[in-house]
A and B are shown apart, each in its own frame.
Chain A
Amino acid sequence: MTDSLLPFSVFFASIFTGNILLTNYLGMCSFLSVSKELKTSTGLGMAVIFVMATTTPLNWIVYQYLLIPFGLEYLRFIVFIIVIAAFVQLTEMTLERYSEPLYQSLGIFLPLITVNCAILGVSLFMVIREYTLLTSFFFGLGSGIGWFIAIIAMAGIRQKLKNAKIPPGLEGPGIALVIAGFMAMAFMGFSGMIALS
Protein backbone atom coordinates (compact mmCIF):
# COMPACT_ATOMS: atom_id res chain seq x y z
CA MET A 1 0.00 0.00 0.00
CA THR A 2 1.35 3.42 -0.89
CA ASP A 3 2.05 5.94 1.84
CA SER A 4 -0.39 8.50 0.52
CA LEU A 5 -3.22 6.06 1.06
CA LEU A 6 -2.18 5.14 4.57
CA PRO A 7 -4.35 7.72 6.38
CA PHE A 8 -7.44 6.37 4.67
CA SER A 9 -6.69 2.75 5.31
CA VAL A 10 -6.03 3.61 8.96
CA PHE A 11 -9.34 5.45 9.00
CA PHE A 12 -11.34 2.47 7.80
CA ALA A 13 -9.32 -0.02 9.78
CA SER A 14 -9.95 1.84 13.02
CA ILE A 15 -13.69 1.82 12.40
CA PHE A 16 -14.13 -1.80 11.40
CA THR A 17 -11.24 -4.20 11.84
CA GLY A 18 -9.56 -2.54 14.79
CA ASN A 19 -12.58 -1.10 16.57
CA ILE A 20 -11.22 0.49 19.72
CA LEU A 21 -14.06 -0.79 21.88
CA LEU A 22 -14.60 -4.25 20.48
CA THR A 23 -11.00 -5.29 19.91
CA ASN A 24 -9.16 -3.29 22.57
CA TYR A 25 -11.88 -3.08 25.24
CA LEU A 26 -11.27 0.64 25.65
CA GLY A 27 -14.06 2.89 26.86
CA MET A 28 -15.96 0.02 28.47
CA CYS A 29 -16.97 1.93 31.62
CA SER A 30 -19.03 4.61 29.94
CA PHE A 31 -20.09 2.14 27.27
CA LEU A 32 -21.75 -0.13 29.82
CA SER A 33 -23.29 2.62 31.93
CA VAL A 34 -24.56 4.93 29.19
CA SER A 35 -25.76 2.49 26.54
CA LYS A 36 -29.13 1.99 28.26
CA GLU A 37 -30.69 4.75 26.19
CA LEU A 38 -30.37 5.57 22.52
CA LYS A 39 -30.59 9.34 22.96
CA THR A 40 -27.83 9.71 25.52
CA SER A 41 -25.70 7.21 23.62
CA THR A 42 -25.95 9.34 20.50
CA GLY A 43 -24.90 12.45 22.41
CA LEU A 44 -21.97 10.75 24.09
CA GLY A 45 -20.93 9.08 20.85
CA MET A 46 -20.87 12.40 19.00
CA ALA A 47 -18.85 13.98 21.78
CA VAL A 48 -16.36 11.11 21.67
CA ILE A 49 -15.92 11.49 17.89
CA PHE A 50 -15.27 15.20 18.29
CA VAL A 51 -12.84 14.89 21.19
CA MET A 52 -10.90 11.98 19.67
CA ALA A 53 -10.55 13.64 16.28
CA THR A 54 -9.20 16.82 17.88
CA THR A 55 -7.10 15.62 20.81
CA THR A 56 -5.20 12.95 18.87
CA PRO A 57 -3.53 15.39 16.44
CA LEU A 58 -3.15 17.89 19.30
CA ASN A 59 -1.30 15.31 21.35
CA TRP A 60 0.79 14.42 18.30
CA ILE A 61 1.93 18.05 18.01
CA VAL A 62 2.69 18.25 21.73
CA TYR A 63 4.57 14.95 21.64
CA GLN A 64 6.65 15.74 18.55
CA TYR A 65 7.47 19.37 19.25
CA LEU A 66 7.57 19.54 23.04
CA LEU A 67 8.28 16.16 24.57
CA ILE A 68 10.75 14.65 22.09
CA PRO A 69 13.06 17.72 21.75
CA PHE A 70 13.39 17.94 25.52
CA GLY A 71 13.70 14.20 26.04
CA LEU A 72 10.57 14.07 28.18
CA GLU A 73 8.80 11.14 26.49
CA TYR A 74 8.23 9.45 29.84
CA LEU A 75 5.99 12.34 30.89
CA ARG A 76 3.56 11.62 28.07
CA PHE A 77 0.90 10.05 30.30
CA ILE A 78 0.58 13.17 32.43
CA VAL A 79 0.88 15.57 29.52
CA PHE A 80 -1.71 13.76 27.37
CA ILE A 81 -4.18 13.69 30.24
CA ILE A 82 -3.70 17.40 30.86
CA VAL A 83 -4.09 18.23 27.17
CA ILE A 84 -7.29 16.18 26.99
CA ALA A 85 -8.73 17.62 30.21
CA ALA A 86 -7.86 21.19 29.25
CA PHE A 87 -9.25 20.79 25.76
CA VAL A 88 -12.48 19.26 27.00
CA GLN A 89 -12.92 22.01 29.57
CA LEU A 90 -12.27 24.67 26.96
CA THR A 91 -14.76 23.15 24.53
CA GLU A 92 -17.38 22.92 27.23
CA MET A 93 -16.96 26.58 28.15
CA THR A 94 -17.03 27.69 24.50
CA LEU A 95 -20.16 25.70 23.79
CA GLU A 96 -21.89 27.00 26.89
CA ARG A 97 -21.13 30.59 25.91
CA TYR A 98 -21.88 30.50 22.20
CA SER A 99 -24.24 27.69 21.40
CA GLU A 100 -26.95 26.76 23.85
CA PRO A 101 -28.55 23.94 21.78
CA LEU A 102 -25.19 22.35 21.01
CA TYR A 103 -24.27 22.56 24.67
CA GLN A 104 -27.48 20.83 25.65
CA SER A 105 -26.96 17.98 23.19
CA LEU A 106 -23.19 17.58 23.40
CA GLY A 107 -21.71 19.68 26.19
CA ILE A 108 -23.23 17.84 29.11
CA PHE A 109 -21.36 14.72 28.05
CA LEU A 110 -17.98 16.37 27.84
CA PRO A 111 -16.94 16.04 31.51
CA LEU A 112 -17.63 12.30 31.30
CA ILE A 113 -15.19 12.04 28.45
CA THR A 114 -12.03 13.08 30.25
CA VAL A 115 -12.08 9.81 32.14
CA ASN A 116 -12.95 7.73 29.08
CA CYS A 117 -10.02 5.36 28.64
CA ALA A 118 -10.52 5.24 24.89
CA ILE A 119 -9.48 8.87 24.44
CA LEU A 120 -6.14 8.43 26.17
CA GLY A 121 -5.79 5.01 24.57
CA VAL A 122 -6.03 6.40 21.05
CA SER A 123 -3.29 8.94 21.82
CA LEU A 124 -1.03 6.26 23.27
CA PHE A 125 -1.59 3.95 20.30
CA MET A 126 -0.79 6.87 18.03
CA VAL A 127 2.62 7.27 19.71
CA ILE A 128 3.46 3.57 19.65
CA ARG A 129 2.47 3.10 16.02
CA GLU A 130 4.44 6.20 14.99
CA TYR A 131 1.74 7.82 12.88
CA THR A 132 2.16 11.11 11.07
CA LEU A 133 -0.01 14.14 11.88
CA LEU A 134 -2.50 13.44 9.11
CA THR A 135 -2.71 9.75 9.94
CA SER A 136 -3.22 10.61 13.62
CA PHE A 137 -6.17 12.77 12.72
CA PHE A 138 -7.78 10.03 10.67
CA PHE A 139 -6.97 7.46 13.33
CA GLY A 140 -8.68 9.61 15.97
CA LEU A 141 -11.67 10.30 13.75
CA GLY A 142 -12.02 6.65 12.74
CA SER A 143 -11.74 5.38 16.30
CA GLY A 144 -14.37 7.88 17.39
CA ILE A 145 -16.74 6.78 14.66
CA GLY A 146 -16.07 3.14 15.52
CA TRP A 147 -16.91 3.79 19.16
CA PHE A 148 -20.03 5.70 18.10
CA ILE A 149 -21.25 2.82 15.93
CA ALA A 150 -20.64 0.33 18.72
CA ILE A 151 -22.51 2.29 21.39
CA ILE A 152 -25.44 3.10 19.09
CA ALA A 153 -25.82 -0.55 18.12
CA MET A 154 -25.59 -1.58 21.76
CA ALA A 155 -28.18 0.99 22.86
CA GLY A 156 -30.56 -0.16 20.14
CA ILE A 157 -30.22 -3.78 21.20
CA ARG A 158 -30.59 -2.97 24.87
CA GLN A 159 -33.84 -1.12 24.26
CA LYS A 160 -35.27 -4.25 22.70
CA LEU A 161 -33.93 -6.27 25.63
CA LYS A 162 -36.27 -4.50 28.03
CA ASN A 163 -39.01 -6.87 26.89
CA ALA A 164 -36.85 -9.96 27.03
CA LYS A 165 -36.66 -12.46 29.85
CA ILE A 166 -33.11 -12.61 31.14
CA PRO A 167 -31.74 -14.82 33.93
CA PRO A 168 -31.58 -12.60 37.04
CA GLY A 169 -27.83 -12.93 37.52
CA LEU A 170 -27.16 -11.84 33.98
CA GLU A 171 -29.29 -8.69 34.02
CA GLY A 172 -27.65 -5.33 33.38
CA PRO A 173 -23.92 -5.44 32.76
CA GLY A 174 -23.79 -9.20 32.32
CA ILE A 175 -26.05 -9.33 29.30
CA ALA A 176 -24.42 -6.17 27.93
CA LEU A 177 -21.07 -7.95 27.97
CA VAL A 178 -22.54 -10.97 26.17
CA ILE A 179 -23.95 -8.68 23.49
CA ALA A 180 -20.62 -6.89 23.22
CA GLY A 181 -19.04 -10.30 22.69
CA PHE A 182 -21.40 -11.07 19.84
CA MET A 183 -20.79 -7.66 18.35
CA ALA A 184 -17.06 -8.26 18.54
CA MET A 185 -17.58 -11.55 16.71
CA ALA A 186 -19.61 -9.77 14.04
CA PHE A 187 -16.88 -7.17 13.64
CA MET A 188 -14.32 -9.95 13.29
CA GLY A 189 -16.03 -10.63 10.00
CA PHE A 190 -14.38 -7.47 8.68
CA SER A 191 -10.90 -8.71 9.49
CA GLY A 192 -8.84 -9.50 6.46
CA MET A 193 -10.26 -6.50 4.65
CA ILE A 194 -7.75 -4.03 6.05
CA ALA A 195 -5.16 -4.77 8.69
CA LEU A 196 -4.23 -2.24 11.34
CA SER A 197 -0.52 -2.55 11.91
Chain B
Amino acid sequence: MANKLLRKTFMEPLGKNNPVFVQILGICSTLAVTNKLQNTMVMVLGVMFTTALSSLTISLLRNHIPSRIRMMVETMVIATFVIIVDIVLKAFYPEMWKQLGPYVGLIITNCIIMGRIEAFALQNKPMLSLVDGLASGLGYAYVLLAIAFVRELLGTGSLWGYQILGSWWTNWSIMIMPPGGFFVLAIIIWIIREKFMKEAKND
Protein backbone atom coordinates (compact mmCIF):
# COMPACT_ATOMS: atom_id res chain seq x y z
CA MET B 1 0.00 0.00 0.00
CA ALA B 2 2.68 2.44 1.06
CA ASN B 3 4.75 1.43 -1.92
CA LYS B 4 1.87 1.98 -4.29
CA LEU B 5 1.27 5.46 -2.94
CA LEU B 6 4.95 6.24 -3.26
CA ARG B 7 4.97 5.07 -6.85
CA LYS B 8 1.88 7.05 -7.71
CA THR B 9 3.41 10.16 -6.15
CA PHE B 10 6.53 9.63 -8.20
CA MET B 11 4.92 8.82 -11.54
CA GLU B 12 2.19 11.44 -11.64
CA PRO B 13 4.35 14.56 -12.10
CA LEU B 14 6.29 12.75 -14.81
CA GLY B 15 3.25 11.95 -16.89
CA LYS B 16 -0.31 13.10 -16.65
CA ASN B 17 0.27 15.77 -14.02
CA ASN B 18 3.42 17.23 -15.49
CA PRO B 19 3.97 20.74 -14.14
CA VAL B 20 4.97 22.16 -17.51
CA PHE B 21 2.40 20.60 -19.85
CA VAL B 22 -0.63 20.60 -17.63
CA GLN B 23 -0.09 23.60 -15.43
CA ILE B 24 2.39 25.63 -17.54
CA LEU B 25 4.21 26.51 -14.35
CA GLY B 26 7.70 27.64 -13.67
CA ILE B 27 9.03 28.18 -17.16
CA CYS B 28 10.05 31.73 -16.34
CA SER B 29 13.42 31.17 -14.80
CA THR B 30 14.75 28.37 -16.94
CA LEU B 31 13.47 28.98 -20.45
CA ALA B 32 16.05 31.72 -20.85
CA VAL B 33 18.97 29.32 -20.54
CA THR B 34 17.59 26.60 -22.83
CA ASN B 35 19.70 27.71 -25.77
CA LYS B 36 22.48 25.46 -24.50
CA LEU B 37 22.07 21.92 -23.20
CA GLN B 38 24.83 22.29 -20.64
CA ASN B 39 23.40 25.42 -19.02
CA THR B 40 19.96 23.85 -18.94
CA MET B 41 21.30 20.76 -17.21
CA VAL B 42 22.86 22.85 -14.45
CA MET B 43 19.70 24.90 -14.02
CA VAL B 44 17.34 21.91 -13.83
CA LEU B 45 19.66 20.19 -11.35
CA GLY B 46 19.43 23.33 -9.24
CA VAL B 47 15.65 23.34 -9.53
CA MET B 48 15.39 19.65 -8.65
CA PHE B 49 17.64 20.09 -5.63
CA THR B 50 15.61 23.06 -4.42
CA THR B 51 12.20 21.51 -5.06
CA ALA B 52 13.04 18.23 -3.34
CA LEU B 53 14.74 19.65 -0.29
CA SER B 54 12.38 22.56 0.32
CA SER B 55 9.42 20.18 0.06
CA LEU B 56 11.11 17.95 2.62
CA THR B 57 11.92 20.84 4.95
CA ILE B 58 8.44 22.36 4.82
CA SER B 59 6.89 18.97 5.34
CA LEU B 60 9.01 18.43 8.45
CA LEU B 61 7.96 21.85 9.76
CA ARG B 62 4.36 21.65 8.58
CA ASN B 63 2.82 21.32 12.04
CA HIS B 64 4.82 24.20 13.45
CA ILE B 65 4.26 26.90 10.82
CA PRO B 66 1.43 29.34 11.62
CA SER B 67 -0.71 29.50 8.50
CA ARG B 68 -0.73 33.29 8.46
CA ILE B 69 2.97 33.58 7.77
CA ARG B 70 3.47 30.34 5.89
CA MET B 71 4.23 32.06 2.56
CA MET B 72 7.07 33.97 4.17
CA VAL B 73 8.49 30.83 5.79
CA GLU B 74 8.25 28.94 2.52
CA THR B 75 10.05 31.70 0.64
CA MET B 76 12.82 31.77 3.25
CA VAL B 77 13.33 28.02 3.02
CA ILE B 78 13.38 28.07 -0.79
CA ALA B 79 15.76 31.04 -0.83
CA THR B 80 18.12 29.25 1.55
CA PHE B 81 18.46 26.29 -0.79
CA VAL B 82 18.87 28.54 -3.80
CA ILE B 83 21.67 30.38 -2.01
CA ILE B 84 23.37 27.03 -1.44
CA VAL B 85 23.09 26.24 -5.16
CA ASP B 86 24.46 29.69 -5.99
CA ILE B 87 27.43 29.42 -3.65
CA VAL B 88 28.32 25.90 -4.77
CA LEU B 89 28.18 26.95 -8.43
CA LYS B 90 30.23 30.04 -7.79
CA ALA B 91 32.88 28.06 -5.94
CA PHE B 92 33.23 25.06 -8.24
CA TYR B 93 32.00 26.23 -11.64
CA PRO B 94 32.68 29.98 -11.79
CA GLU B 95 32.45 30.02 -15.60
CA MET B 96 29.02 28.42 -15.56
CA TRP B 97 27.96 30.72 -12.75
CA LYS B 98 28.88 33.75 -14.83
CA GLN B 99 26.93 32.48 -17.82
CA LEU B 100 23.80 31.74 -15.85
CA GLY B 101 23.94 35.18 -14.25
CA PRO B 102 20.76 36.14 -12.43
CA TYR B 103 18.85 33.05 -13.46
CA VAL B 104 20.10 30.95 -10.55
CA GLY B 105 18.57 33.46 -8.13
CA LEU B 106 15.35 33.38 -10.06
CA ILE B 107 14.81 29.74 -9.09
CA ILE B 108 13.25 31.25 -5.94
CA THR B 109 10.34 32.62 -7.91
CA ASN B 110 9.89 29.40 -9.88
CA CYS B 111 6.20 28.71 -9.37
CA ILE B 112 6.67 24.93 -9.35
CA ILE B 113 8.53 24.93 -6.05
CA MET B 114 6.02 27.10 -4.22
CA GLY B 115 3.19 25.25 -5.95
CA ARG B 116 4.34 21.82 -4.81
CA ILE B 117 4.85 23.05 -1.26
CA GLU B 118 1.39 24.61 -1.09
CA ALA B 119 -0.38 21.76 -2.80
CA PHE B 120 1.50 18.79 -1.40
CA ALA B 121 4.17 19.26 1.25
CA LEU B 122 1.90 21.09 3.68
CA GLN B 123 -0.40 18.07 3.97
CA ASN B 124 1.90 15.11 3.56
CA LYS B 125 4.60 13.21 5.40
CA PRO B 126 8.27 14.19 4.83
CA MET B 127 9.28 11.10 2.85
CA LEU B 128 6.36 11.40 0.48
CA SER B 129 6.96 15.13 0.04
CA LEU B 130 10.59 14.52 -0.82
CA VAL B 131 9.55 12.06 -3.50
CA ASP B 132 6.91 14.43 -4.81
CA GLY B 133 9.37 17.30 -4.97
CA LEU B 134 11.97 15.18 -6.71
CA ALA B 135 9.45 13.85 -9.23
CA SER B 136 8.09 17.30 -10.00
CA GLY B 137 11.65 18.45 -10.53
CA LEU B 138 12.29 15.52 -12.85
CA GLY B 139 9.08 16.06 -14.79
CA TYR B 140 10.14 19.65 -15.25
CA ALA B 141 13.72 18.73 -16.08
CA TYR B 142 13.04 16.43 -19.01
CA VAL B 143 10.77 18.95 -20.72
CA LEU B 144 13.35 21.70 -20.38
CA LEU B 145 16.13 19.38 -21.56
CA ALA B 146 14.04 18.44 -24.58
CA ILE B 147 13.62 22.12 -25.44
CA ALA B 148 17.34 22.72 -25.02
CA PHE B 149 18.12 19.68 -27.17
CA VAL B 150 16.05 21.00 -30.07
CA ARG B 151 17.28 24.57 -29.70
CA GLU B 152 20.96 23.78 -29.49
CA LEU B 153 20.86 21.20 -32.26
CA LEU B 154 18.96 23.35 -34.75
CA GLY B 155 20.48 26.64 -33.65
CA THR B 156 24.16 25.75 -33.62
CA GLY B 157 24.36 22.23 -35.03
CA SER B 158 25.99 21.02 -31.86
CA LEU B 159 25.03 19.18 -28.68
CA TRP B 160 26.63 19.66 -25.28
CA GLY B 161 29.15 21.92 -26.99
CA TYR B 162 30.27 19.22 -29.46
CA GLN B 163 29.66 19.75 -33.16
CA ILE B 164 27.22 17.08 -34.31
CA LEU B 165 26.01 18.23 -37.69
CA GLY B 166 28.51 18.76 -40.45
CA SER B 167 29.27 21.86 -42.45
CA TRP B 168 26.28 21.17 -44.73
CA TRP B 169 24.04 22.29 -41.90
CA THR B 170 22.84 25.90 -41.94
CA ASN B 171 22.25 27.14 -38.41
CA TRP B 172 18.73 28.31 -37.63
CA SER B 173 19.87 31.31 -35.67
CA ILE B 174 16.26 32.08 -34.68
CA MET B 175 16.40 28.99 -32.47
CA ILE B 176 19.02 30.35 -30.11
CA MET B 177 17.35 33.74 -30.02
CA PRO B 178 14.40 34.41 -27.69
CA PRO B 179 11.54 33.63 -30.12
CA GLY B 180 12.93 30.12 -30.63
CA GLY B 181 12.26 29.24 -27.00
CA PHE B 182 8.63 30.27 -27.28
CA PHE B 183 8.09 28.32 -30.47
CA VAL B 184 9.76 25.13 -29.33
CA LEU B 185 7.87 25.10 -26.03
CA ALA B 186 4.58 25.75 -27.84
CA ILE B 187 5.22 22.92 -30.28
CA ILE B 188 6.17 20.48 -27.53
CA ILE B 189 3.04 21.38 -25.56
CA TRP B 190 0.98 20.97 -28.71
CA ILE B 191 2.34 17.51 -29.48
CA ILE B 192 1.94 16.29 -25.90
CA ARG B 193 -1.55 17.66 -25.45
CA GLU B 194 -2.71 16.26 -28.74
CA LYS B 195 -1.41 12.84 -27.76
CA PHE B 196 -2.83 12.99 -24.23
CA MET B 197 -6.19 14.19 -25.41
CA LYS B 198 -6.43 11.22 -27.74
CA GLU B 199 -5.59 8.87 -24.89
CA ALA B 200 -8.22 10.50 -22.72
CA LYS B 201 -10.82 9.96 -25.42
CA ASN B 202 -9.95 6.28 -25.69
CA ASP B 203 -10.40 5.71 -21.97
- Chain A residues engaging chain B, CB cutoff 8 angstroms: 22-29, 32, 74-78, 81, 85, 115-118, 120-121, 124-125, 127-128, 167-170, 173-175, 177-178, 180-182, 184-185, 188
Contacts and interface: CB of A to CB of B under 8 A. Distances in A.
Contacts of A124: 101-102, 105-106
A161 to B, nearest CB: 14
B30 to A, nearest CB: 8
Contacts of A127: 102
A23 B114 CA distance: 24
Interface bracket on B: 35 or more
21 contacts: A22-B178, A27-B28, A75-B83, A81-B108, A120-B108, A121-B106, A124-B101, A168-B193, A168-B197, A169-B191, A169-B192, A169-B193, A169-B194, A170-B186, A173-B24, A174-B193, A178-B186, A181-B182, A182-B179, A184-B178, A184-B182
Nearest to A170: B190
B61 interface: no
A78 B67 CA distance: 20
B182 A32 contact: no
B186 A25 contact: no
Interface stretch (B3-11, B73-81, B161-169): B73-81
Interface on chain B toward A: helix, strand, loop, or mixed SS? Answer: helix
A77 B180 CA distance: 29
Given A77-B83, A117-B110, 13 more contacts: A25-B27, A26-B32, A28-B28, A74-B87, A125-B101, A169-B189, A170-B193, A177-B185, A178-B186, A180-B182, A181-B186, A184-B177, A184-B178
A26 B185 CA distance: 15
Contact of B179 (A26, A27, A29, A185): A185
Contacts of A188: 177-179
B182 A77 contact: no
B26 interface: yes
B32 to A, nearest CB: 5
A174 B190 contact: yes
B28 A26 contact: yes
Contacts of B28: 25-29, 117-118
B181 A25 contact: yes
Contacts of B80: 78
A99 to B, nearest CB: 25
B106 A26 contact: yes
B178 A23 contact: yes
